Every structure is written in C-alpha cells, then in structure tokens.
Structure 1
Amino acid sequence: MRCHAPDHTGGAAVMPQAAVDPVLPPDITAQARDLGPLESPAIWLTAAGAAVAVLAVTIALGHHRRARRWGTGGAVVLFLLAAVTAVNSYVGYVRTPDDLGRLFERGSGAADAVGMLLDDGADEPDAPADPAATAQHHPAVTSSAQRVDVLSLPDPADAVPSGENYVILPPGYDDPANAGHRYPVVYLIHGYPYGGPRDWLTSGAAPDALRNLEADHVIAPMIVVSVDLTAGAPSKDWEGLDVPGGPQLETYLAKTVVAGVDHHYRTLADRRHRALGGMSGGGFAALNTGLHHLDEFATLVIALPYDDLNDSIGVLDGHLSTIAANTPRHYLPTMTFTAPISVLLAAGTGAPTDVATAHRIADALHHRGQEAVVHTEHGFNHTWHTARATLPYLLAFADQNFHSPTPTS
C-alpha cells in the first residue's frame, strides 16, 4: 500500500528519505508479468509441429508433384510463422489481437484494413481529424473513465516534423469536482530503432499498469505521456539526441513537449513533480536528457538501461565533443549536480549486461551524492517483457518521489 508523508511548508527541517525499491501487491506484479494471448509459446510450438507434420506427409507423397509443391509451400509458410511467433514470444512486442491490429495499421491498403478489423480501439484515441490540431481526445462518456489523448506537437524549428504524443489521463480528470486539481507527470520514451509512442500503450501496457496501481491505491492519480521521439523517421536510431544538422530531439522533449503538456493539461509544473523514463534506447535518452536537464526532471525511471552510445554513435557523425557530451558513462563520474535527482534502474537477470550497467550507473550516481536504486526481474531479458513487468515499479517509484518530503527543487 502507498504511504505518503505529508508535504512540509514550514517548521523543523525534514531529513531526506533514501530512495527505495517499491514493494507492490502480488496481483499487480503477476498481471504485469503475464503473457498476452499472442505471446504464448504454444503458438509457435503448434506452428512448428504442424510444419513438421506437413513436411512429413509431403515426403511420403513425394511421387505426387502437385502434393509435393503444395506441401513444401505450406511447410515453409508454417516454419516462417513459427519463427515469427517464437521471436514475438521472446520479445513480447505484440501481446493481443488489438496490438497486432495496430501494427498492421502502420501499413497501407490491405494491411491497414486487416488492422482496423483487429483493433477494437481500447486504450487508443482517435487520430486527429485536422493535422494542425494540437490535441485530440475521445469525448468523455463518463467522467470516471481513463482517457487517452493524442497531443500533436510538431516543432519545425528543431527539425521535428511530427510529434504524436500519447497522454494518458487518470480517471476523474474530467470530473467538475477535480477542476482545480493538478497532477504530476511521468514521461516515457519508446525504444530505438522502429519504436514509437504507441509502444508504451501496447507492448508496455501502460494504461493497464496505471489502472491496476490506482485501483489498489498504490499510487495517486498521475498523468503519463508516451513521447514521440521518432522525428518522423522511426527506423533511425536517434537515441533522443540533439543531432548535428538533424532533429533536436533532446531539446524537443525537454522544452517543447514539457511546455506543451503543461499548457494543455492541469499539471504540477515543476521539476519535483516530473519524472522521465524509457526502455532500452528510450532509457538511454531518458538518462542522458534527464542528466542534462536537472531543472526539468527530479526523477528518472529507466528499464533496460545503458549509458554508452555504442552502435548508434553514427548519428552524431563523428562530432567528438558532442559524443563526449552525450555519453553518460564518461561524464557522469565527474558531473556537477545543480539539483538532486533520484533514479530507479530496472533490468532482467537474464541480461547480465543490463544488470551490470544498472549497477555501474547507480554507483556513479551514489559517488556524486545522488539517490539510485536497482530493481531486477528474475529470468527476464532485454525485451518488452521486462519493460512491461517493471513498469509498475517505475511508476510507483515516481509516485514515491512526487509525494516525498525530500527537497528536490
């Protein structure tokens, strides 16, 4: 259960509380770790078994040319289906038929039509009718329902031609009784490459995580924003960077997106009530951007962390000073902190490099006098399964900091 210390505005000084890894109810952690129907190993095992059976029959009927041709083709299709579903079972990118529908909807023609049939629209806002619109949302059928908006924030000045940011608003946001209530905000960044802001709604199951945490009174109502840092080119490994001669994604997030969310929604518009997080490449972007913008974010919540540009260094086109300024592994150990920060780093024990990286980042933060906690999920790897399983911990950690008396500004 959530236990919030009251805010203090006067009297005796309050001693800072050390950051801790949240303890969550078993039902919430079980739901976050559950496999979706399209992630079940039974799918690829069935497809592989069927492929073997078809191939065996084809061999037995090898003297029939037509049977051999059709049987071989069928076996190949089934083996490919087994391979694709096995990869998805491991990665956890497509959980449900709705997720599959949204994936098809990224295409055109027949693929888009199939996607529309599979997607029931749950947890998904309508696309903006007007490309120039700044915010589009479902009409609130009941004021107690969770709502998801698309906040369109293109920023041509920073070479960001699009910006379809998904805003998850808590139940009761539209209640007249809450008209004066303001909410803390968690910003989440998708992975790279081929990631996008919808991923935290589908693969990351953020709406479900929020509903479960709030229903069990583990967290207070908050706004979660899944940020679009694709710059209209999701195949590029941008890593949320200000790219020389390219999109200024760090600036776009820290200035344009934050200002846009604060303008359109009832937020607590200060660093103490903002958290920044992400998974994998989005986790790197959150770490790097958060450390560069201590005036904007007091909490970082990162899944599948890393602190080095590695293969994505190419987007900086050999600019050595820019590379150095965007490699936390190098600058963090000597960094000067103008404001305190609290960080949760989550990794799966099946990815020992992630665990080692999480501890290295935490140690570097500790040596600079900052709070950092490492959370591990047993047996999980560098996949969306881990991001989804750890998201409730990330959100609960952010909530702790939002309501902690620790001075963060």
Structure 2
Amino acid sequence: MGLTSNKVLVLTIVLAAALFVATVWVWPRLARRSWRSVGGRVGLLLATQLALLASLGIGANQAFGFYAGWADLFGRETEQGVVVDHSSGAGGGGPLQVLSTSPVPGVTGSGPRTAGRIQQVAIVGRGSRLASPAYVYLPPEYFQPRYRTRTFPAAVVLTGYPGTAQALVNRLNYPRTAQELAKDGRMQPMILVMLRPTVAPPRDTECVDVPGGPRTETFFAEDLPQAVLAHYRVGRRPGSWGVIGDSTGGYCALKLAMRHPDVYTAGAGLSPYYRAPIDPTTGDLFHGDRKLRDRADLWWLLKHAPAPDTSLLVTSSRVGEHNYRDTLRFIGRVKATGRTRISSIILDSGGHNFNTWRREIPPALQWISGRLGDR
C-alpha cells in the first residue's frame, strides 16, 4: 500500500483508536510500581502517541501532497532523471509519451467531448537530459469536431517543493476548476500541463541550471514546451503559453516569465518568494557563479536586467503569509519598470497551504487565460 493510499490512512486511524482503547482498558492493571508496570505504561503511551502522530502526518500528506510515496518520504529517491535521446524513426519514441488516460475528477460526462480528459505522460528533455512525469488536462473542446483545426493556449502548472503532480489534479482541482470556468464563459478553454518543479528528486533545484548538475531551467524553458508542441495542438506563437505555481512553483513561474518572456507571456506566483534559497534541500546551486546567482534573484533582475515584456501575478495575505511585505515591495518594483505588467491577489487572511491556494486558483486561471491568445 502506498503512502497516499486511503487504506493506509484508515489503517493508522484504526490502530491509533485501538491503542487508545487498549491503554484505557489495561491501565488499571499496570498501576503497580514495579519496573514491568512502569515499562508497560510508557510503552502504551508511546505507541498510542506514535500511532496518533502517524495518522495525523499521513492525513496532512494526503491533504497537502508533500510526498508522493514511501521512497520520497525517506529520501530514497536519489537518482537524477537522466534520459537517452530517442530516434525519430519508426521504432523511436517522442519527447512526450502518454502512459494512461482518465476522466477529470469531479466532472460528470460520458466522454471526452463533454468532460475532457487527463493524460498521465512522461516528458523527456532532449536539451537538459532530464525526464519528468506530468499530467495533461485536455478540455472538452479539444475533442469536439468543430475545434479539430484549432490550437489551444497552454499553461504549465507547478507544485511547491517537494509536492506531487497528482495533488494538482485531486487536491487543488486545477482541471475541474478550469473546466467550470470555461463552461461559464469566464475563461477560454486551455490545456494544462501539471507537474512538480522537482525534476531531479530529491533535490530542490529551484528551476536553476546547476553547474555540472541538473539543467532545470532549460527543461522548463525549452524542453517542456517543445515536447508538448510536438504532441498536442498548442499555439506556437508568442502569447500562447503561461505558467502558474505555488510556493517554490510560484517563484519558478515568475522567474520563467521574467527570464523567458518569448516563451511564457504570463506568469502567476501563488505565495511566491523572490530569491532562490540555499539550504540542505537545494545544495550549492551556483558553485560560486555570481552571474548565475544574480539571474536566480528576481530583485536583481528588476534592478539590473532589461524589463521583460511579460505579465506577472503575485498573491499573498495580510495575515498568515510571510511574504506579504516582500510582495508589496515586489509590486512596487515591477510598476517602476514601466514595461512589465503586474497584478495581485491580496487576501485578508490565509496561510501557506492548499486551502488558501484553492481560493486563489479560480481568479488566477481567469487572469492567465485573459493574457493568452488563441493562435
């Protein structure tokens, strides 16, 4: 049973409840002062608390998508996603391979023309030599005969760190929200490419091309759009692509839009930060390369680099978010450029969590849809 399985959650809850009942039932028998009785009381209390913490931890992981599996939890995912290029001949595979197709969770409909579809895919980067799983949401219009010659705008959707791509589908409800908004006429039909920025697990590369390491920025700026364009009917001209993410994914979204406006004409950061951190999860991202460090610092880019012709959206909360003051300062800095466009969503209160982002995703999708063109 996997870490995100409902059976595991139910099992831990039942175990915690059983241990609690056993503790209450057996406690009078362990009331003596002998070392066996004391040891029994300590053991029961410890076992009950561990089971309770385990059930709470697994429940929180189910709600927020911190870890995808046991190997991810215990840090056993150590191999980088290095791939071999495939030939384009009859026996070769493309840069994007569809692994499975499923309905959109929470959407009623008998087929793809009315309910859309989600495809689980594997994306291989020919430039970065990185590979990543992802989920692609195709709206109902994609399958309808009257749209058979139409290309669709696309948005890359990124999780935080460590995050799971599945949480974007099942917890943050991006596909269902996009379909409901399009059905109500509040946004245009769009293709969503959902994945986590951790394409070289377990390392948090902050969407940086690490010297001698994973070339994550190259993967998102070049390989990913090329792979999607080769497989789906997505607009090829500037203005067809956007990127949105939360937390680490929010930082990546802003940086990709600022550094690659020719690819991403709009970037939305939900609860983002504005400078790549250096900590045990990232390791040494820059290897003493000051230019590389500066290019990963959004404050430096705003001050020293030419203002990009792109649109940015940032979100925060007056109470509950640590980035509130930085976000207001970032808005002011972007406005001062006179070229880069900036919008914001500021909530009265809201923490750094899924509940807050679920409140921000509908208006953020509407915003990004309004800035992408149907080419």
Fold in common (TM above 0.5): yes
In 1, the alpha carbon distance for the partners of 2:290 and 2:367 equals 35
Distance 1:254 1:58, change over 3 A: same
In 1, the alpha carbon distance for the partners of 2:245 and 2:239 equals 18
- In structure 1, the residue corresponding to 2:134 is in which secondary structure? strand
Q: Which residue does 1:318 correspond to in 2?
A: 288
In 2, the alpha carbon distance for the partners of 1:79 and 1:131 equals 53
Gaps of 5+ in 2: 1-5, 7-11, 74-90, 104-109
In 2, the alpha carbon distance for the partners of 1:171 and 1:398 equals 19
Q: Which residue does 2:101 correspond to in 1?
A: 138
Q: Structure 1 residue aligned with 2:62, among 64, 79, 94? A: 94
How far residue 250 of structure 1 moved from its aligned partner, in angstroms, is 0.9
**1:187–1:224: 8 Å Cα contact kept in structure 2?**
yes
TM-score, length basis structure 2: 0.76
In 2, the alpha carbon distance for the partners of 1:297 and 1:285 equals 12
1:204 aligned onto 2:166: no
1:57-96 equivalences in 2 (<5 Å): 57-63=25-31, 73=43, 75-84=45-54, 86=56, 93-95=61-63
In 2, the alpha carbon distance for the partners of 1:59 and 1:317 equals 58
Amino acid at match of 2:257: G
Distance 1:235 1:104, change over 3 A: closer
**2:316–2:346: 8 Å Cα contact kept in structure 1?**
yes
Output the aligned Cα RMSD: 3.7
- In structure 1, the residue corresponding to 2:335 is in which secondary structure? helix
Distance 1:208 1:181, change over 3 A: same
How far residue 46 of structure 1 moved from its aligned partner, in angstroms, is 11
Amino acid at match of 2:147: N
- In structure 2, the residue corresponding to 1:164 is in which secondary structure? strand
Q: Which residue does 1:252 correspond to in 2?
A: 219
**1:333–1:365: 8 Å Cα contact kept in structure 2?**
no
1:227-242 equivalences in 2 (<5 Å): 227-231=195-199, 233-242=200-209
Q: Which residue does 2:303 correspond to in 1?
A: 333
How far residue 76 of structure 1 moved from its aligned partner, in angstroms, is 3.4
Q: Structure 1 residue aligned with 2:241, among 257, 274, 284? A: 274
Distance 1:254 1:81, change over 3 A: same
1:14-163 equivalences in 2 (<5 Å): 55=23, 57-63=25-31, 73=43, 75-84=45-54, 86=56, 93-95=61-63, 103-104=68-69, 132=93, 134-136=96-98, 137-138=100-101, 142=111, 143-155=113-125, 157-160=127-130, 162-163=131-132
TM-score, length basis structure 1: 0.70
How far residue 151 of structure 1 moved from its aligned partner, in angstroms, is 3.3
In 1, the alpha carbon distance for the partners of 2:318 and 2:51 equals 29
Q: Comparing both structures, which one devotes a greater share of its residues to strand?
A: 2
Q: Which residue does 1:225 correspond to in 2?
A: 193
- In structure 1, the residue corresponding to 2:178 is in which secondary structure? helix
Gaps of 5+ in 1: 1-37, 39-43, 109-129
The higher relative CO (CA closer than 8 Å, separation ≥ 6) is in 1
Q: Which residue does 1:359 correspond to in 2?
A: 328
